[in-house]
Structure 1
């Protein structure tokens, strides 16, 4: 009997639908106050979730400032020759420059060393923009995006390529490393140096800003899989199950070294735990640790490279309609955060 993958993942009404923290709100407010001195906005989105990593708050808060959209982690969303999705995404941004950043290796899973060719393309666009709007005091670029989409990693790569200087922005596997808007970091020299322009080009790094309220449980699971929320927010086994759902739609052979195709996440996790030695007390399979291991493997591109979002020309409009139906608000986000804090304090009190 041939394997039939699940065609839908059940909705989860009790799943957390917000991760809008205090420093997200403060960061967004600071960005608004800086707009009058900003020449360009560099908005980063995760290529694996080109729709879900789009934050409507930026479109409202940064309206009126010219923008470039950069899709990070392009190599984790499919092969280099798979350009159909790129072409569709470019159509979403008609009239706006759209670029793609590929990782270039570095330490496994960190993506610290972005592909030089794609980074140089971003530098060329920024230099061209600054040249056409000559400023002796320097060109200021604000880099924004959802948590953990790779803003600080891109900033470090731009500085390394543009100035041949080392890392200036802290990065990490979990969201929330950048908490405040930084002062400008030079990435292109001034005209006094060879290859420079005007007073130079500076980038202001910002904290990742989450959506106040996520429109669906599937969107929350996608963001969690890509690392936009901390791994403690969604149960690891549930996250791994959602990943299994997508892997099976793509190709069950991706885990063939562990077991036959299955829709049962416990079967897969047990097989992996046995083969990798992830056992708890008494030789019991440690399914939570194994689930996190599987998710990390996918984030590193070692358990398939594919998109989690469906990409077609009408996708953006459908996403906007979904957002309008939910009507996300800061009040909802604050209420969810208060509830999370109460649960956390209650759990501490029970220990």
Structure 2
């Protein structure tokens, strides 16, 4: 059975979670960049677009311009007075299917030619070695500099501290104690770290930074979906979301990732088929796991908690191991398109009648084209939200209005 119509569930209004230490770091960033040579931005491979923190983009662009990069050509540097590189690391690569990585890398290279991008997982020594060599090579290109300073930034719980610990162990020979504390819960790192040496020759130092969430996740369906995605990867403080809401979106997303054989089927009784009905799914799961309340009723609330935690601990690996829905086998439904397909939590498209590869390599090119369209949609949404101020909370709007009114009164008073 293949699900050809997978409707997105209704989602709750996203909560606001922007503690004071996040605001403090956001204000500190421009000053920190003056002594930074490389910005290492960590994103989650499952959310390569949603885990972009656009509130930091202004400071990063200003930093590049001040270091001599051409504002009209992002690949050209007018004045080269030292290292100034931005590297995007898609962490937790083992939680997304391998088949989409190269098409994604190619799609992002076309849209953001000024950004170096690589996939990594702290559990894969080769990935850590590649990242270490990349930083060392940047340092060697600037032999006049005494050291290379790397600032690590990203949203909460994308794995910054864990990746840095692995990088230190790779770059410093011998036994090295774990430098940073790590946690599955977001928000453990609340201040800029002391310098961590990650290479001896040449000298490379790294600074870990607090994970910074968006001050406001947005309005409407875009904001609601953005919040649920971040909550599912544990990027938002536990308890701000109802687990059944997360389970509802997770069921939808796993169906998109593999509408033929979703990863959750192994949790259900033998012979179960894919479903879009959350209540039916949670009832089956509760009975299968023996989660029964008084009166022989299945405990669906407990099942929802189990489902989300199963996915975080092992279900993501199972989902990533699945192969793509084969393009050549796609059939057009009554809705005028073939099955829905997805990669990670940010990419989703429908297979059309023309999406059938005829030559070797066609499938990768089709996937890349689909991803480019998704990236264009994402950028258009971000631009629309900024133009219409949909990314600003009502509280922020009110504070801005109060500040503007105070300024008007002050200017009026000065004119007297």
Q: Structure 1-normalised TM-score?
A: 0.82
Q: Distance in 2 between matches of 1:20 and 1:127?
A: 35
Q: Which residue of 2 aligns with 1:298?
A: 311
Q: Which residue of 2 aligns with 1:39?
A: 37
Q: Which residue of 2 aligns with 1:344?
A: none
| SS of equivalent to 2:34 | helix
Alignment of 1:200-239 (within 5 A): 200-215=203-218, 216=222, 217-239=224-246
Would you say 1:124 and 2:133 are equivalent positions?
yes
Q: Which residue of 2 aligns with 1:18?
A: 16
Q: Which residue of 2 aligns with 1:141?
A: 150
Q: Which residue of 2 aligns with 1:154?
A: 163
Q: Which residue of 1 aligns with 2:189?
A: 178
Cα displacement (A) at 1:80: 6.1
Q: Distance in 2 between matches of 1:81 and 1:223?
A: 21
Would you say 1:308 and 2:345 are equivalent positions?
yes
Q: Is the 8 A contact 1:147 1:210 kept in 2?
A: yes
Cα displacement string for residues 108-166 of structure 1 (whole angstroms, at most 9, x for unaligned residues): xxxxx431001111101100111112366421100000111111111011011111423
| SS of equivalent to 1:70 | strand
Would you say 1:268 and 2:277 are equivalent positions?
no
Classify 1:220/1:233 alpha carbon distance in 2 versus 1 (closer, same or farther; 3 Å): same
Structure 1 unaligned regions, length at least 5: 103-112, 190-195, 336-351
Q: Distance in 1 between matches of 2:264 and 2:9?
A: 23
Cα displacement (A) at 1:89: 2.9
Q: Which residue of 2 aligns with 1:324?
A: 383
| SS of equivalent to 2:372 | coil
Cα displacement (A) at 1:275: 2.2
Deviates more, 1:55-64 or 1:205-214: 55-64
RMSD in angstroms over aligned alpha carbons? 2.5
Deviates more, 1:170-179 or 1:30-39: 30-39
Q: Which residue of 2 aligns with 1:109?
A: none
Q: Which residue of 1 aligns with 2:70?
A: none
Q: Is the 8 A contact 1:143 1:205 kept in 2?
A: yes
| SS of equivalent to 2:98 | coil
Q: Which residue of 2 aligns with 1:108?
A: none
Q: Which residue of 2 aligns with 1:72?
A: 91
Deviates more, 1:142-151 or 1:90-99: 90-99
Classify 1:287/1:155 alpha carbon distance in 2 versus 1 (closer, same or farther; 3 Å): same
Would you say 1:8 and 2:29 are equivalent positions?
no
Cα displacement (A) at 1:96: 2.0
Q: Is the 8 A contact 2:48 2:346 kept in 1?
A: yes
Q: Is the 8 A contact 1:163 1:188 kept in 2?
A: yes
Classify 1:86/1:136 alpha carbon distance in 2 versus 1 (closer, same or farther; 3 Å): closer
Would you say 1:115 and 2:130 are equivalent positions?
no
Cα displacement (A) at 1:268: 1.6
Number of matched pairs: 316
Deviates more, 1:304-313 or 1:137-146: 304-313
Classify 1:280/1:33 alpha carbon distance in 2 versus 1 (closer, same or farther; 3 Å): farther
Cα displacement (A) at 1:82: 5.4
| SS of equivalent to 1:84 | helix
Q: Structure 2-normalised TM-score?
A: 0.70
Q: Which residue of 2 aligns with 1:85?
A: 104
Cα displacement (A) at 1:266: 2.1
Classify 1:302/1:284 alpha carbon distance in 2 versus 1 (closer, same or farther; 3 Å): farther
Deviates more, 1:276-285 or 1:15-24: 276-285
